[in-house]
Each structure stands twice: as C-alpha cells, then as structure tokens.
A = this chain, B = another copy of it.
Amino acid sequence: MDYVDVGRESGPGMGVEAIRRFLQDLSVDHPPYAPPFLKAGKLVIAHAANILHYIGPRIGLAPKAEGPRLWAHQLQLTVTDFVKEIHDTHHPIANSLYYEEQKPEALRRSQRFLAERLPKYLGYFERVVKANGHGCMVGRSLSYVDLSMFQLIEGLRYAFPLNMQRIEPTYPGLVALRDKIAARPNTAAYLKSPRRLPFNDKGLFRHYAELDEIS
C-alpha cells in the first residue's frame, strides 16, 4: 500500500510545518490530538494503535475476523501502555522539561520500572507468545503485534543494554520472535534503508547510562 510520510518529506504541503498546520486547522472536522495520524481517503485516524487496528487487516498484518482482530488490538493497547512507561523513565515530571531538569526523579522512576514494570510486561508478552504456540503473537501468521515486539526489544536493548542482557534469557520466546522478524527480507531491507530512523536522544527510547546502571 502506497503512502507518503508527510513529516519527513520536504516541499509544498510537506514537513513538520504541514502537520502542525493541519492540527491547528479549525476547518478540520475530526482533528487529531497529536501525531501520529493517518489520512486514508476522507478518514483521519489518530493514535498508533488505532491506525494499526484500521490498516492491519487491509495489508495482511492482522486477522479480519472480529475476535482475533480485537485481540491483536488489545495487545497493541498494552504495548501503548508499556511504551508510555518506558518514555516516562526519562521524563517522569513533564515532557516540556529537559531530561537534565528531572534527573533525580528519572533515576527513581527507572529503578522502579526496571525492578517491577519491565519484568511484568515482558513476562506477559512472553506468556502470550508461548501460549499461542506458533512463534508469533496472534494466530498462525505474522501481524503488526509481532513488529511491535521487535521494536520493543530493539528499543529496550538500546535504552537499557545492561538490564536487557541480564534479563533476556528469561524471555526466549520474545527473543526468538525478534530474531525471526529481523531476518525477514522486507524487514531487513527496511532496517538498512533511510526510512529506518536510528535510535537517538530525542525519541521515546533513550539511552542514559545512569538509568541503566541502577538495577
């Protein structure tokens, strides 16, 4: 399915400025609260999980039947919660402050996150992939939830290398899934392309060595 990544293109009607303008345009009927959002014909769909829910069955990355489709969405909503908690390890007070302005709080939050939340979420996803029994999260074929698992493991390895090295052996199903996704020709080509943004110190997954050293 063809698409244009408006925020990353330049030229008329493209770029971050075009997205800002759209969000503030009072003539837009169904304005998103924030990016990301997808324009698909007349529909404007916001929230990563909602976009995946809409597009998944249309591009063969989610089941079409209601039950399994809702199950995939449910898993993705748990990913959403997890990702928010990962983000808040480095920004526990406010997004509008720099990390350096909330470092003591970040240390405290990360400590709790690494001790309590990280194993709870990964343990849950490991349980799901194991119970499913087909080396993937939903049903018998690849879904967007598997791609989310790949991105979670990659991001966590970047952000918390010491902790991940220590705990990864506890989650063999997730690691095997991560490896399977990485080895797929399409994923491998994407990972080598400029479409793949490297992890960095402005994104959701960030590496601050001091936050990784505390558990």
Q: A70-B43, A127-B31 are in contact. Are A77 and B49 (CB under 8 A)?
A: yes
Main secondary structure of the interface of A (DSSP, over half): helix
Chain A residue total in the interface (Cβ 8 A)? 42
Hey, which chain B residues are within 8 Å of A54, CB to CB? 70
Chain B residue with Cβ nearest A108? B93
A207 within 8 A of B: no
Q: A67-B42, A105-B108 are in contact. Are A96 and B116 (CB under 8 A)?
A: yes
Could you tell me the distance between the alpha carbons of A73 and B80 in the complex, rounded to whole angstroms?
15
Hey, which chain B residues are within 8 Å of A84, CB to CB? 81, 84
A88 within 8 A of B: yes
Could you tell me the distance between the alpha carbons of A53 and B72 in the complex, rounded to whole angstroms?
14
A46 within 8 A of B: yes
Hey, which chain B residues are within 8 Å of A161, CB to CB? none
With A31-B124, A46-B74, A50-B77 already in contact, 13 other A-B pairs whose C-beta atoms are closer than 8 Å: A29-B131, A31-B127, A31-B131, A46-B77, A47-B74, A49-B77, A50-B73, A53-B73, A93-B108, A93-B109, A94-B109, A96-B112, A96-B116
